[in-house]
Chain A
Amino acid sequence: MLTYIARRIIIGAFTLLAVTSLVYCLIRNMPGTPLTQMTENPNAKQIMSEKQQKELMAQYHLDKPWIVGYGYWLAGVAQGDLGRGINPGDRDRVTRIIGRRLPNTLKLTLTSFFLTYLLCIPMGLYSTARNATPTERTMAITLYILYALPTFVAALYMNLLFGVKLGWMPITGMTSEDYYQLSTLGKLGDTLHHAILPIICLTYGSLAYYTRFIKANMLETVQQDYIRTALAKGVSPRKALVVHAFRNALIPLVTLIGLTLPTLLAGSVILESIYQWDGIGHLFIEKVTQRDYPVIMGLVLMFSVMTLLGQLVADVLYAVVDPRITYS
């Protein structure tokens, strides 16, 4: 097992190398550099002299070919330094820039993650127990429709209904204008109020997917002999379903947890830009338009590490939960 993990990590390191060099090459070949993007911006605080520009170019290795710049970036990463943002509005360390936005994204994704698992298990079990009844059919169709509903369409429809028509929910922003005058409890309530719609948008799709997933797995499991044996022994149908069958249906679910790891940190580009939510997805779009290379690279590194880690965790968990699976 340990050799397997070690091998995966070594292969993963090479994959990371390939991903980051590819993306670095890509962003360096985008038209415009961080400096031209800055001068195009009429609100730029200072117009730089040519000498200053040259100094900056040299400082960020923009005057050298991309492969050399990538080498410097890699050397920095090896020393645990992701560099600093180029944009004059935010010259902080990349880790800090990302760290500032991460809590906002986690507020949405973690809540949505727990909500999904909290709801999908009872819903999945319910649809297995009541399979093919009219209630279950309606539920299945609703879930299928939700699964296919694009998030931005759902967000707009909910904004129209709850934000504009009924006026219950704010349709954009993370906090109200009077946020800083509110009490601690009021602040919490205000944040929650603003987060409800984005959280629903983030949750419904995965909820529909997981519920369908659990149901499909459970239907396969309940047909197995050991369930019939349990029922024949006199175990109540409820107990046979929840205790005996569900334990086995859990196995594929565990791997899915590993695969959701990257989405927890990446957030949603679309939802964060609809709701003006200052999270990671929003940061990415912002930095791509500013051509802020170090920050983009930091984000891409984070996404890819999380994806690879998620896959590894999924595979390891698979072996942990299912003793039939071993890696050599």
Chain B
Amino acid sequence: MSDVQETVESTVETKAKPSKSLGFWATSWRYYRRRFFAMAGLIYVIFLGLVAIFSPMIVGTKPIICYYKGSIYFPAMGYYNPSWENAIFTTGDHFENRYEPNLQKNDPNSWAIWPLILQDPVERVGDDWFEGRTANPTDIAGGPSWKNWFGTNSVGVDVFAQLVHGTRIALLVGFVSMAIASAIGIFIGAVSGYYGGWMDFILSRIIEVVLCVPTLVLVIALLATVVSPSIWQVVFVIGLTSWTGIARLTRAEFMKIKQIEYVSAARAMGASPYRIMFVHILRNALAPILVPISFGIAAAIFTESALSFLGIGANSETPTWGDLLKQGQDHILSMWWLSFFPGLAIFTTVLAYNLIGEGIQEATDPRTRDA
């Protein structure tokens, strides 16, 4: 009798403290994690992010940290932004990127921590840059070797260094342009879907207008209004032209969700339309919207490289992946490594973002979750 009592009590006890059930995002992450290709894509993008952040520490000719004339400097920061390179090395003592010999010559007590690979993404490493290292080969002689993993271009700049530093631009283009596109797309789609009526009619026409002209054609026409576009202008133009998919999906989701009772409840409680749209509805519409955003990042990276490849892209000091591929196209008959490695970088990155998009789609949609 007491035994039974005890077991009943214990079951009651366990029932009294129910474990908290997983939220939507935690469940989705559980399903996402099970997908091998989606995870591979995610890990690859994280890897690229790390490469981008630490690019000056991976490849470069400027020391990460150096001790010079009594102070500690971080010259490698110059790779992020030329003005961050300490003036003492550039306009002060005129190192002209030849750090090793100049450090030794000007201050025998100096020391430096160097990047893993001593190559520069902009200039050819010459004979006098490092002791015991010969200059980079040029033209046909510059095939892949132990010194230049992915070869060198026609003027002797290391391709691996260019690719690693180009990762920063590629990821930046993807994220920033899609941030712009999502902001525009979500706003237009939300207003159009929530209000409906004539507002929807007008906004749908605006979407149609942008959709009417092929994206690349529109981007080329917009970019032609700037004489020599900077990378930010290219990113802005890509963002400005690639929001239609996001807007259309947001509109459809909002039209669906605004019918649910909780929206009426929020309205009855006096919530403003903007609060309902961007606090209440958007939370529930976010999962499907993430899918075109992820595909959009892939498309933005593709568009940017295509523009550079066509020779109408950004003017940046660090070459973009598309610039590299253009060199490859120009020297296709003799220097295969100039097209092979940059092409591989663009392809794998676009593939990874596509895999992530597909993974999100399958993990957040209850119909495909268990497949």
Q: B213 in the interface, Cβ–Cβ < 8 Å?
A: yes
A interface footprint on B196-229 (CB within 8 Å = 1, 0 otherwise): 0000000001001101111011001110111100
Q: Which of A19, A29, A149, A296 contacts B212 (CB 8 A)?
A: A19
Assess the A262–B209 pair: CB atoms within 8 A.
no
Q: A242 in the interface, Cβ–Cβ < 8 Å?
A: no
Assess the A153–B347 pair: CB atoms within 8 A.
yes
Assess the A157–B343 pair: CB atoms within 8 A.
yes
Q: With a 10 A CB-CB cut-off, give which of B205, B212, B306, B351 has the most chain A CB atoms.
A: B212
Stretch at the interface among A68-76, A102-110, A244-252, A265-273: A265-273
Report A-chain residues with C-beta under 8 Å of the C-beta of B302: 150
Assess the A160–B340 pair: CB atoms within 8 A.
yes
A interface footprint on B35-65 (CB within 8 Å = 1, 0 otherwise): 0000000000000000000000000000000
Assess the A160–B329 pair: CB atoms within 8 A.
no
Report A-chain residues with C-beta under 8 Å of the C-beta of B339: 156-157, 160
The residues in A between 269 and 318 inclusive whose CB is less than 8 angstroms from any CB of B are: 269-270, 273-274, 284-285, 288-289, 296, 299-300, 303-304, 307-308
CB distance from A141 to the nearest CB of B (A): 8
Assess the A27–B212 pair: CB atoms within 8 A.
no
Q: Which of B214, B225, B351 contacts A30 (CB 8 A)?
A: B225
CB distance from A19 to the nearest CB of B (A): 5
Report A-chain residues with C-beta under 8 Å of the C-beta of B305: 150, 152
Q: B310 in the interface, Cβ–Cβ < 8 Å?
A: yes
Assess the A284–B325 pair: CB atoms within 8 A.
no
Stretch at the interface among A10-18, A84-92, A173-181: A10-18
With A23-B221, A171-B332, A270-B310 known to touch, is A153 a contact of B214 (CB < 8 Å)? no
Q: B238 in the interface, Cβ–Cβ < 8 Å?
A: no
Assess the B350–A148 pair: CB atoms within 8 A.
yes
A-side interface residues, number (CB < 8 Å) = 47
CB distance from A157 to the nearest CB of B (A): 6
Q: Which of A18, A157, A263, A288 contacts B224 (CB 8 A)?
A: A288
A interface footprint on B285-317 (CB within 8 Å = 1, 0 otherwise): 000000000000010001001100110100000
Q: A26 in the interface, Cβ–Cβ < 8 Å?
A: yes
Q: Complex: how many Å from CA A252 to CA B93?
A: 68
Assess the A150–B220 pair: CB atoms within 8 A.
no
Report B-chain residues with C-beta under 8 Å of the C-beta of A31: 225-227
Assess the A160–B205 pair: CB atoms within 8 A.
no
Assess the B298–A148 pair: CB atoms within 8 A.
yes
Assess the B217–A303 pair: CB atoms within 8 A.
yes
Q: B299's closest neighbor in chain A, by CB?
A: A150
Q: B309's closest neighbor in chain A, by CB?
A: A152
Assess the A303–B214 pair: CB atoms within 8 A.
yes
The residues in A between 117 and 163 inclusive whose CB is less than 8 angstroms from any CB of B are: 144-145, 147-150, 152-153, 156-157, 159-160, 163
Q: Complex: how many Å from CA A323 to CA B205?
A: 28
Report B-chain residues with C-beta under 8 Å of the C-beta of A159: 332
Could you say which interface size class chain B belongs to? 35 or more
Report A-chain residues with C-beta under 8 Å of the C-beta of B350: 148-150
Report A-chain residues with C-beta under 8 Å of the C-beta of B226: 31
With A26-B225, A269-B310 known to touch, is A304 a contact of B212 (CB < 8 Å)? yes
Q: B121 in the interface, Cβ–Cβ < 8 Å?
A: no
Report B-chain residues with C-beta under 8 Å of the C-beta of A284: 217, 220
Assess the A18–B209 pair: CB atoms within 8 A.
yes
Q: B187 in the interface, Cβ–Cβ < 8 Å?
A: no
Assess the B209–A270 pair: CB atoms within 8 A.
no
Assess the A288–B332 pair: CB atoms within 8 A.
no
Q: A267's closest neighbor in chain B, by CB?
A: B214
Q: Complex: how many Å from CA A212 to CA B214?
A: 23
Q: Complex: how many Å from CA A147 to CA B299?
A: 12
CB distance from B339 to the nearest CB of A (A): 4
Assess the A15–B346 pair: CB atoms within 8 A.
no
Q: Complex: how many Å from CA A159 to CA B331?
A: 12
Q: A22 in the interface, Cβ–Cβ < 8 Å?
A: yes
Q: Which of B211, B222, B298, B343 contacts A153 (CB 8 A)?
A: B343
Q: B353's closest neighbor in chain A, by CB?
A: A148
Assess the B217–A266 pair: CB atoms within 8 A.
yes
Q: Complex: how many Å from CA A320 to CA B305?
A: 41
Assess the B336–A153 pair: CB atoms within 8 A.
no
Q: B193 in the interface, Cβ–Cβ < 8 Å?
A: no
CB distance from A86 to the nearest CB of B (A): 15
With A23-B213, A160-B336 known to touch, is A148 a contact of B225 (CB < 8 Å)? no
- 17 more A-B residue pairs beyond the given contacts A19-B213, A304-B212, with a C-beta to C-beta distance below 8 A: A19-B209, A26-B221, A27-B224, A31-B226, A156-B328, A160-B332, A160-B339, A160-B340, A164-B333, A165-B336, A171-B332, A262-B214, A270-B306, A285-B312, A288-B221, A299-B217, A300-B221
20 A-B pairs whose Cβ atoms sit less than 8 Å apart in the complex: A18-B205, A19-B212, A19-B213, A23-B221, A26-B225, A27-B224, A31-B225, A148-B355, A152-B305, A164-B333, A164-B336, A165-B336, A266-B217, A269-B220, A270-B216, A284-B217, A288-B220, A289-B224, A299-B217, A303-B217
